[in-house]
Amino acid sequence: MQSSEQPLQRSRAIVEQLKRSQIYQDYEQAFRDATGLPINLRPIESFDLPFHGDPMENPFCSLLAKTNHTCAACLQLQKKVEEESGLEPKTLKCFAGLCDSAVPIRVGENLVAFLQTGQVLLHKPSHEQFAKTTRQLLKFGTDTDLKKLEEAFFQSRVLNKRQYESILRLLTIFAQHLSSLSNQLAVKEENAESPMIARARTVITERHAEDLSLEEVAKSVNTSAFYFCKMFKKATGLTFTDYLARVRVEKVKNLLLNPHKRISEAAFEAGFQSLSQFNRVFRRIAGEAPTTYRERLHGTTAAG
């Protein structure tokens, strides 16, 4: 478990730091202004809809994001994009013919994040193509306003292949800059984080499924609870309770990738002591109820 979760946590930490950097914020704004396309910097194994809520989100995709089955299809596409873009940028088309692309960011041999853009057509939308998309939506059982969906589909951004390849080339160059910056941040973090905090993170990762207290973790790193609480918040930006809750929520999300795993089982397996506590914490951290997350993920009614 530890070996699989540590790269994930490292990726999230690096992405959070990069997003706070001035170079990323400047580039993100310039990219949006120049291309009119959405852009997202996301951690590895983060299979959420990457552009949902983005000001540049394709209106067609925005409408589809509100339906479970099409949402599941988009999430599956994100997973496939990630699996196939470990070394080079990868572009895939969804069932509606829209392109999504992921550009990997690496530190040494390690894949740490992705720059993503897309939701564009590489040819003008046609009524024939929309009819084909409609047939697929009906197979999904999607309940949506087809007239409104058609209007949104024909508003999709259209680029020719050369234009889109140039945009991906810009992202690739920027990904190289971010790789260098990530390496600097990783070295800085490694040098800055005390052995006490590093050990505490390890203890939390290894024992998050237990009824773990701040006092126990403080004792495991040979310090008082008061001092540990103060130093942990300073190093991570989170209280011990919030950090532990986030580790547990991410564990639940990973467990729910299994469509046969019950939500209640995942909650207790991750270390939550009651379902009421779990539901409250999950909603606060994930921004939605666990049942809603499960339905989005698999396009089915969640198992309790």
Q: pLDDT (tens digit, 9 = 90+) per residue, 165-181?
A: 999 999 999 988 888 88
Residue 184 and residue 108 in contact, taking contact as beta carbons nearer than 8 Å: no
| CA angle at 227 for the pair 222 and 232, rounded to the nearest 5° | 90
Count CB atoms within 10 A of the CB of residue 198: 14
- CB of 290 within 8 A of CB of 282? yes
d(CA 52, CA 74): 11
d(CA 124, CA 5) in angstroms, rounded, equals: 43
State the helix-helix crossing angle for 161-192 and 2-20, rounded to 10 degrees.
110
CB atoms within 10 A of CB 123: 11
Q: Is 115 helix (H, G, I), strand (E, B) or coil?
A: strand
Helix 240-255 with 275-286: angle, nearest 10 deg: 90
**Tokens found for residue 161:** 């292949």
Q: Which are the contacts of 195, defined by CB distance < 8 A and separation ≥ 6?
A: none
- For the entire predicted model, the pTM comes to 0.59
Residue 54 CA from chain centroid, whole number: 14
Domains of the chain: 2-189 (3.30.450), 195-298 (1.10.10.60)
**Closest Cα partner for 197 from 217, 181, 178?**
217
d(CA 120, CA 131): 18
pLDDT at 2: 40
Rounded CA-CA distance 276/282 in Å is 10
- According to DSSP H, which parts of 56-194 are helical? 59-64, 68-84, 127-140, 146-153, 161-192
Beta bridge partners of residue 105, listed in sequence order:
113
CA distance 270 to 237: 22
Strand arrangement, sheet containing 99-107: 39-43, 110-120, 99-107, 90-93
The pLDDT of residue 182 is 77
Per-residue tens of pLDDT for the chain, all 304 residues: 344 456 777 788 888 888 988 889 999 999 999 999 999 998 887 767 778 888 899 999 888 877 766 666 677 777 777 777 666 888 888 889 999 898 988 876 778 888 999 999 999 999 999 999 888 888 877 677 889 999 999 999 999 999 999 999 999 999 888 888 877 766 565 555 688 998 999 999 999 999 999 999 999 999 999 999 999 988 888 899 999 999 999 899 889 888 889 999 999 999 999 999 999 999 988 888 999 888 877 765 444 5
So what's the pLDDT on residue 5?
A: 56
User: Left, alpha or beta for 13 (phi > 0: left; psi -120 to 50: alpha)?
Assistant: alpha
Any residues with CB less than 8 A from the CB of 76 and at least 6 apart, and which? Answer: none
What one-character DSSP code corresponds to residue 89?
-
- Return d(Cα 204, Cα 111) in angstroms, integer: 24
Closest CA to 297 of 268, 269, 255: 255
Tokens 């939500």 found at = 263
Between CA 63 and CA 255 the distance in angstroms is 28
